[in-house]
Amino acid sequence: MAAKAKPSLRRSVTPWGSFSWGYSDVGADIFVGLGLVLGAAGGASNIAFLFAGIVYVCIGLAYTELAATYPVAGGGQYFVMRGLGDIFGFIAGWAVLLDFTIDITLFSWSCVDYLGQLLPILQLQPHPWIHFWSVFLLITGLCTLNVIGVRESTTFNGIVSALDVISETSILFFGFLFAFNPDLLMHTMHVYWPSTDHLLLGVSFAIISFVGLESISQAAQETQRPASVIPRTSIGLILTILIYALAYANLALGMTPAHPVPLDAHGHAQQFFQFLGNDENNGKAVAVLAANVPYFGAIAGLYVPVLGAILLLISSNSGVFGASRIAYAMSRARLLPSVFERVSRRFRTPAVSIVTFCAIAIVVLIFAALPSLDPGMQQLYNHAFRGEAGIVVLGDLYAFGAATSYSFVFIALIALRLNDPLSPRKFRIPLNIPFTYRGERVLFPIVGVIGFLGIFSILVDTLITHEIGRVAGPTWIIIGFFGYLFYRRHKGLPIFRSRPQDWDAQQVLILKDAGELESMDELIEKLRVRGRNVTVGGRTS
């Protein structure tokens, strides 16, 4: 019987590994998001980052509490399913799957863009086919790496994350020391303040720079002592990325570059932030910015494209990891077919899920690359989507998936505070209103309401301002929803209701498996006092 037991995920992610999984995703987002936001929001780019950053802090606090309380693979999908029921858990999980699948393609694409800063043959123009096959090979390579094992992926992430923290800090230090002009910052904000539509577009792109905290919660079931480790790593990540995003936006708006930037059509020197945000540079804005820092830029121009490319590569790697773990968790919860929960006996990784969503990422790559590969497709995109293609297409879908899933997570946070007040919370979001609900003392999270209003407004903004996002995003949700209905009906499972589950017993097992024995004993005692005995492994506690 032992030989036939299903293999399970192993706990091999350390505290630094937990941080690096999040940083490799969120830290790389600024490499992609900076140019997109500068191109959309102009002189108000720092304001766009600030608004998205406030929402991001709320998101980060919510994920920190939930992942530390429920340290299982699945992240936001599991939190929503437990708090709101199966059907909402599926929708949230399916939206996150879109996000992580786009993550795989988006950051592999940007990785090649950054390498193209040093190797012109990799540039999308004039070498679209070389660019395409380079991205394709990166995705297939990451697929193989993740099938082999999470330990190897985590070590890879940790080394590069440490190097990038040093690099990004150095760029900011020398940039503010040698090139920043506060008067130019104020002038740029005044003269190049965008229209409301462009500001909203910039905000929707800015949230891209803060997506990735989901990666920490995805690794929770493979993290050692997650209830203790996750709060420390998450808070550190929240502060690090918020500082970087705001600092880079202000530096770009107020920087005098070491070398003159190209002239615009009227013969006037183009503002540096516009140069960073144009179509040629928005996929590699940080590398271009670093190369134009006086003195330091001579060195940074050589190594930042390489380091940025590697960080983007491990962010794409986080996408592979996250998509496979969400599919694994959804399959175990009977929201997806059981094939997605199969774990390789040799490598103890969810190989089927990894291969499936890497294949979908390649389909997305083909869709995004078609306009550059086929002039006829470019005309079609120009007519249907105002010319959006390539990295902008991927950014549209990325923003939609993130805003949708995060909106559900905030609702789930509030629901779990009300319906599961007994689960020990080693980290709790501040600013709460205490009251009694169903005979139990609960703490209503004010931050949860603020965060929901903020991220839901970004979701509405994304649907209004992104041509492809408002078509392809909802289409993904609708297709998944009908697939969910067919699967549940085929298996004889409730369609619009949730499967009956003993959440108390599950929580005891979750804490036991995580090694959080003190929290487990605390929960068992609370349940015993209320006359709710828990049966675990044939024993009643």
Confidence of residue 433 (pLDDT cuts 50, 70, 90): very high
Q: How far is Cα 502 from Cα 509, in angstroms, rounded to an integer?
A: 11
112-142: per-residue pLDDT in tens?
Answer: 988 888 888 888 778 788 989 999 999 999 8
Q: How far is Cα 351 from Cα 412, in angstroms, rounded to an integer?
A: 29
pLDDT at 392 over 90: no
pLDDT at 50 over 70: yes
C-alpha angle 369-264-50 in degrees, rounded to nearest 5: 70
* % of the chain surpassing 70 pLDDT: 85
Per the rule left: phi > 0, alpha: psi between -120 and 50, beta: everything else, 72 is beta
Confidence of residue 154 (pLDDT cuts 50, 70, 90): low
- Highest-pLDDT range among 197-206, 273-282, 405-414: 405-414
Look up residue 134 and give its two tokens: 């380079």
Coil, strand or helix: which one is 219?
Answer: coil
Residue 103 near residue 326, CB atoms below 8 Å: no
Look up residue 87 and give its two tokens: 């059907």
Q: Give the pLDDT mean for 279-291.
A: 82
- Please tell me the predicted confidence (pLDDT) of residue 25: 67
- Please tell me the predicted confidence (pLDDT) of residue 157: 65
Q: How far is Cα 317 from Cα 397, in angstroms, rounded to an integer?
A: 18
Q: Give the pLDDT mean for 497-525.
A: 88
Residues 6+ apart with CB under 8 A from 184: 253, 254, 255, 256
pLDDT at 9 over 50: no
- Please tell me the predicted confidence (pLDDT) of residue 250: 95
- Please tell me the predicted confidence (pLDDT) of residue 268: 56
From residue 64, alpha-carbon distances to 83, 235, 236 in Å are 16, 8, 11
Q: How far is Cα 385 from Cα 472, in angstroms, rounded to an integer?
A: 11
pLDDT at 533 over 80: no
Kindly give the residue spans of alpha helices, DSSP state H, lying in 386-516.
391-419, 446-465, 469-490, 503-514
Q: How far is Cα 26 from Cα 139, in angstroms, rounded to an integer?
A: 19
- Please tell me the predicted confidence (pLDDT) of residue 23: 74
Q: How far is Cα 13 from Cα 226, in angstroms, rounded to an integer?
A: 9
Confidence of residue 531 (pLDDT cuts 50, 70, 90): confident
CATH architecture of 15-490: Up-down Bundle (1.20)
Confidence of residue 15 (pLDDT cuts 50, 70, 90): low
240-268: per-residue pLDDT in tens?
Answer: 888 999 999 999 999 988 777 776 655 55
248-257, 337-346, 373-382: range with lowest mean pLDDT: 373-382
Q: Give the pLDDT mean for 493-509.
A: 90
- Please tell me the predicted confidence (pLDDT) of residue 434: 94
pLDDT at 411 over 90: yes
Q: How far is Cα 235 from Cα 64, in angstroms, rounded to an integer?
A: 8
Higher pLDDT, 352 or 532: 352
Confidence of residue 466 (pLDDT cuts 50, 70, 90): confident
pLDDT at 8 over 90: no
Q: Give the pLDDT mean for 62-91.
A: 89
Higher pLDDT, 182 or 512: 182
- Please tell me the predicted confidence (pLDDT) of residue 124: 77
Q: Give the pLDDT mean for 515-523.
A: 88
* % of the chain surpassing 90 pLDDT: 35
pLDDT at 382 over 70: no
**How does the average pLDDT of the chain come out, rounded?**
83
- Please tell me the predicted confidence (pLDDT) of residue 387: 46
From residue 357, alpha-carbon distances to 143, 208, 519 in Å are 9, 20, 35
pLDDT at 352 over 60: yes
- Please tell me the predicted confidence (pLDDT) of residue 313: 83
Residue 208 near residue 40, CB atoms below 8 Å: no
Main-chain dihedrals φ then ψ at residue 135, nearest 5 degrees: -65, -40
Higher pLDDT, 66 or 466: 66
Look up residue 206 and give its two tokens: 């800015």
Confidence of residue 314 (pLDDT cuts 50, 70, 90): confident
Question: Which amino acid would we find at residue 258?
Answer: A
pLDDT at 280 over 50: yes
- Please tell me the predicted confidence (pLDDT) of residue 220: 60
The full set of domain ranges for the chain reads 15-490, 503-540
Q: Give the pLDDT mean for 395-404.
A: 83
Higher pLDDT, 95 or 374: 95
4-18, 81-95, 438-452: range with lowest mean pLDDT: 4-18
Strands (E), 254-410: none
- Please tell me the predicted confidence (pLDDT) of residue 153: 54
Q: Give the up-direction half-sphere exposure of residue 488: CA atoms within 13 A in the CB hemisphere.
A: 20
The count of other CB atoms within 10 Å of the CB of residue 439 is 7
Confidence of residue 84 (pLDDT cuts 50, 70, 90): very high
Q: Which of 468, 425, 419 is nearest to 440 (CA)?
A: 419
- Please tell me the predicted confidence (pLDDT) of residue 1: 38
pLDDT at 486 over 50: yes
